[in-house]
A and B are shown apart, each in its own frame.
Chain A
Amino acid sequence: MFCKQNPAKVHLTQIVGDKMQKVDLCEECAKQKGVNDDAGFSLADLLLGLGASHELAQATAGEDVKCPNCGFTQADFKKAGRLGCSQCYATFAEGLEGLLKSMHKGTKHVGKTPVALRQTRDLTERLKSLQKKLDRAVTAEDFEQAASLRDEIKVTKDQMTQLARIES
C-alpha cells in the first residue's frame, strides 16, 4: 500500500457511525497529521481507545442536556470521560450509542443478569407466550383450553407481583 509515492507504514481504522474508515499513511504524512505524536491525540483517544474522540464529540454535541437525577451535563462528560450516575446512560443515550459501538464488541448486554431481574424477565416471557396461546384457543373456540390458560396466566401474574414486592 502506498501513500503518495511512499510506502504506507501507518494504518488507521476508525469506525464512524456504522461505517469503517481506513487511512494508510506514509511515515511523513503520519507525522504531519500528528498520528505518531502522542500529544496530537486527544485525551479521549488515550482513555477510551483510538477513534473515541470523534464519537465523544458526537456524544457531547448539541444543546446542553442535563441529567435530571444528578445534574451532570454533556460538557462534564466531555471533560471527565466519565458519567455522573446510572441515569446518565438514559439521559445521554442517543449520543452514547456510537461511542459504545466504537469501543465494545456489541451494544447490547449479553452477560450476567441479577437473579431477581432474570426471574422477572422469564415470567414476562412466559406471560407473553401464554397470552398468545390463549388468543389462539379463543379463536379456535377451544374454551376448555382457554379456561386452563387463563388460570395459568393468573398464577404467573401473581408470581410477578410477589417478585416485585420482594424487589422493592
Chain B
Amino acid sequence: MNIHEFLSPPVESARRTGPHDRIVMSSRVRLARNLRDTAFPGWAKKAERIKALETIRPAVESLPQLVGAFSETMDNLGPLDKQILVERHLISREHAAKSAGSGLVLNKEESLCVMINEEDHLRMQALRPGLLLKQAWLAIDQVDSELERKLDYAFTSELGYLTACPTNLGTGIRVSAMLHLPGLVLAEQINQIIQSVNKLGLAVRGLYGEGTEALGNVFQVSNQMTLGEVEVDIVERLNKVLLQIIEHEENARGMLLEKKPKIVFNFIGRAYGILANAHSITSKETMNQLSLMRLGIDLGEFPTADRALIDELFVITQPAHLQKKYTEKLSAEERDVLRADMLRERLRNVRRPDPKMPGNGGGSLDKRN
C-alpha cells in the first residue's frame, strides 16, 4: 500500500475533534532517543545509518500500538509523498530531506508517528486533536517504555537520554501545540504574547516549526529546556501557559468585536470574497484568508459552513496536495489557478457572511437616525 492510499482523506482528518479545538488545532509530544555508542545520524556514514535503521525499524514495527502501521524507508518515498507528509504535519521538513538509511512508521489513526534517523536515531511522536498534551505524553511514554526493552538506549543517570543536539538532552521531550490566533494578531497583541511566552523559556514558531513564518495566524508553542525538569512538569507547565493563551485569544476576539466590529467584519467579508471568487491565488494568501474565514465561523458569521471545511481546505490547497490530484507537473502559476478553482467550487454553497453586531442587528454602525 502506498502512502496516499494509507493516509486518511483530509475530509476525514479535518473532522477529528478535541478540547479547545476552536483555538488549539493539535497537540504533540515528541521524544528523542538514540542507540548507545552508535554514531548519530548526522555524523554516521551511510552504512552505519542503514545498520541502525535495520535495528530500529523491526523493533518499532513490532509494537502493539503500531500493528497495521505504514512503514517505509525514506528513499522509497518520492518528493511529492514526503511533501504531503510535511503538509500533514506528520514528519519534519528535515526528515523529508532524508533518503536511504532513514525511515518512517505511522499508525492508521495518524496519532503515532516514528521517524527513524532524523537528527536522532529515533524521533517518536504522539499527536492528538485539540488540547490533549497529557494524553499525548502518556501515549508516547508507553511506546518508549516498550521500545526500551528491545533497544539499547544511550542513557546515563547523570545526563539522561543522550541526543545529537545538547538542546534535547535529558528527557529528549518536545511538547508542543499548534494554535490558531487570529484575534491576537488582529488586536496587535501577538508580539507581546510571544515575548512573555519566550520569557517563560518556551518557544513560539511558525506553522512548520523551526524557522518558518506564522502563515494563517497559526503558531506553534513548545518547551525548549529538556534537562533538569521532569516530563510531567514540562507537560503541565506548557498546558497552563496554553490555557492562558487561549484566554487571551478569546479576550482579544471579544474586545475586537466590541470596539472594532467593522474592522473584524471587513477582514472576514473580504476573506470570503477573495476565496469564493478568485481565479488565481497563492497558497500563502489562501492560508491567511482561510484563517480569517475560520475566525468568521467561530464568530457565527457562516451558519452554512463548519470549521472542518476550513481545516480541510487548509490542507488540500497546499502545493503538494494540489499537485497530487494531477499527473502532469504543475507550475506555481498553474497551481494558483487550480487552487482558486477548487476554492470557488468548495465555497459555492457557503452563504456570504452574516455579521451579528453585539446587542443590535448587523450593520448598525453605519446607520444614522
Contacts and interface: CB of A to CB of B under 8 A. Distances in A.
Interface stretch (B127-135, B178-186, B222-230): B222-230
Nearest to A104: B227
Interface string B219-246: 0000011111111000000000000000
B167 A103 contact: yes
B138 to A, nearest CB: 12
Contacts of B224: 49, 103
Interface string B169-188: 11101000000000000000
A118 to B, nearest CB: 9
A146 interface: no
Contact of B37 (A86, A105, A107): A86
Interface in A16-71: 47-49, 69-70
B288 interface: no
B153 interface: yes
Given A83-B40, A109-B171, A115 B148 contact: yes
| Chain B interface category by residue count | 35 or more
Contacts of B145: 115
Nearest to B42: A82
Contacts, number: 116
B159 A82 contact: no
Interface string B111-126: 0000000010000000
B40 A103 contact: no
A113 B231 CA distance: 11
What is the size category of the interface that chain A forms with chain B?
35 or more
B92 interface: no
Interface in A69-118: 69-70, 72, 76, 80-87, 89, 96, 99-100, 103-117
Nearest to B227: A104
A82 B43 contact: yes
A87 B38 CA distance: 9
Contacts of A47: 165, 167
B80 interface: no
A85 B228 contact: no
Contacts of B173: 111
A100 B37 contact: no
B40 A82 contact: yes
Contact of A109 (B36, B165, B167, B170): B170
Contacts of A112: 141, 144, 160-161, 171, 231
Nearest to B160: A109
Nearest to A55: B166
A110 B228 contact: yes
Nearest to B234: A111
A87 B159 CA distance: 12
Given A82-B40, A82-B43, A113 B155 contact: yes
Contacts of B228: 104-110
- Closest 8 pairs between A and B when the two form their complex, measured CB to CB: A106-B228, A109-B160, A86-B154, A105-B228, A104-B227, A111-B171, A84-B43, A86-B162
Interface of B: 34-40, 42-43, 119, 141, 144-145, 148-149, 153-162, 164-167, 169-171, 173, 201, 224-231
21 contacts: A48-B166, A70-B39, A82-B165, A83-B43, A84-B39, A84-B43, A85-B43, A85-B154, A86-B38, A87-B37, A89-B169, A100-B166, A103-B225, A104-B225, A104-B228, A105-B228, A108-B158, A112-B160, A114-B153, A114-B155, A121-B157
